[in-house]
Structure 1
Amino acid sequence: MAELTQSPKVAGKTLLELIKTPWALIIVILALVAVLDPGNWTEIVIFAGKALAHTGQYILFAVLLLSYLKATGAEVMVARAFEGRETRMIFLAALFGGLAPFCSCEVIPFIAGLLALGAPLSAVMAFWLSSPLIDPPTLLITAGALGWPFAIGKAVAAVALGLFGGFAVRALTRGGAFAEPLREYKPAGCCGCGPKQDDKPVWTFWQEPERRVRFRAEFVQNGLFLLKWLALAYVLEALLVSYVPADLIARAVGGEGVLPIIVAALVGMPAYLNSYVAPPLLAGLMEQGMTAGAAMAFMVAGAVSSIPAMAAVWSLVKPRVFATYLGLGVGGAIVTGILFQMV
């Protein structure tokens, strides 16, 4: 009897979770197109399907790489970047930030653990600014959607922004700011309580059954995650190309000069798109008249100031540190866009 009374709740919860998924949104979008504009339905599906198939090779390699890093425990290498002299820490933190395959859940205890253990805020800020911008899967997906020059430019921007933020915070700290950056914080426990610097990666992970299981689990989880978000991204790109007038995009973020780049950065800040959805949509916007510099500023600002990242920063650090983080991110996005446009 208890099972009968609980089943509807479980079924209802499962149905609600299904409705919130990108798959459900894709079905709704395509259904609306079929009803409102049936003549264009086939073209949109073919456009999205071809784009997804083109990116499939990058998805496969990215998922294999990410699963390998997770199974070997390569995350512990990042913790070693926060040992030694402060200048060295900033450089290594900015570099490893572009390589670390951390989810938003893992970043929170990692950063909190480093600050609680006394790691300098300058090095932590370098990692915090560079990490949301790029990682191996994002690099490959960006290359597939926007080309390797854009992907490499974003990777360089991630490291450069990390270095700029790290050394800027270092200068401010020496002037007396940020004496106690952390709020009172208690790790959630879902991903541990920070980095374990004594651990060592196991590169031949297939020799241990537990690591083989983790590899398979990560492969399936990350593969489905990337597939669903990219499928949604390409459907949205198809809608964008089909229904949004090119002159509207050109007026907002097109044209030469600094103003479109500033506008793109400010628009990208609240209009967060994760790093897997943004490249395909920006490809569509660039076809409609968005400049390369504005696209880069939009992508950088959106990643740095994403809702999850902002929530994590706000929960960990005091308002002054939060404002500095946000200012460095948006300012860095504008500078990156200007430089990328010039190149």
Structure 2
Amino acid sequence: MGRAGQVKALRAAQRAAAGSRAGQRAQTTNARRAVADARRNAKAQAGHSKLGKRAGLTGRLLGGAARKARAARDGAIAKQRAKRDTKNGRAVAAQRAQVRKAPARKAARKALRKSAARFHGRRLLAALLALPVGLLGCVSTWIGRKLNIPALMHPGRRLYRRMVQTAGEQRAERDETTRKTLYEQEAAADAEAEQDGTDGLGQQVERPAVDVPTCTIPEVSEGEHVSGFRFEEAAEEMEQAANSYEPENAMEILAMVEGLPAALTSVANVMKILAERSDNEFPLEKEVADGFNDIFGALMSAVAVAEDMGPLFRQAHEQDIARHEDPRNGHDAEKGWNV
């Protein structure tokens, strides 16, 4: 294999590992919508907390009106997204249809051009044959008029008209056959796409042609070590670390809050990797990979909320943070205001 072949093989492997275009498009759309919903819900929650501070009938009325407005807004957003998805689906389906029918249409255009060239060639041949007959018709036409014999009049013109008419009829038959063949090939391509075409991650699932014999899996004792990926153990360690977390000061909590988006992104990437491997490597069905994709979208929405935590923390504790970042006469002097 040459260098060009190696490059092609590498690109093919990268495309196969990335998943289908439909899956990538759906995953990107779901992630963006999840982020938008998370930010919208965070703003709504902040407004709800402000309204909750107002006591009495006015606060309840405003809260009810705000909930109705949010419900109407969410319904309009869902309706608009459905329309957009339908429009995008139609556009993708039309482009796929054009790609499927491109070879048949290319062959049909070539056949029609060939038929037109053959017709014009027959016209040229008819003109060349009718020219000497037309010169002879200069005499035969005069004789036919004198003797009242129509067969002797304009022989070249009649020969040219008959040959061109025959060539035109043959061209129309050829073009009709070509168009009929094109319609049949397009219908066959559409039928094949309906039978074999699947969207999403299911395009990547490969199954053997024959049944695979089942094997008995030995039971694993409770105390036996099992190698592999144990996500629950890592999550349990994080939970224990959160319970025993004792920060030295509030600035350490600020650093932890500002690092939350990167941490949650890493957790979301775990679900993304599991979705891709479930689609490409693991013997799992499409629903399992879709479930991992849903978890990935939910975690990305949490990342969007976590990105707003840092500015919110700094805004709420602006004066406290200023004392640490820009102390008056040094940290030792600033400690005199500690309570």
Measured against the shorter chain, the TM-score band is under 0.3
Give 1 or 2 for the bigger CA radius of gyration.
2
The higher relative CO (CA closer than 8 Å, separation ≥ 6) is in: 2
TM-score norm. by structure 2 comes to 0.20
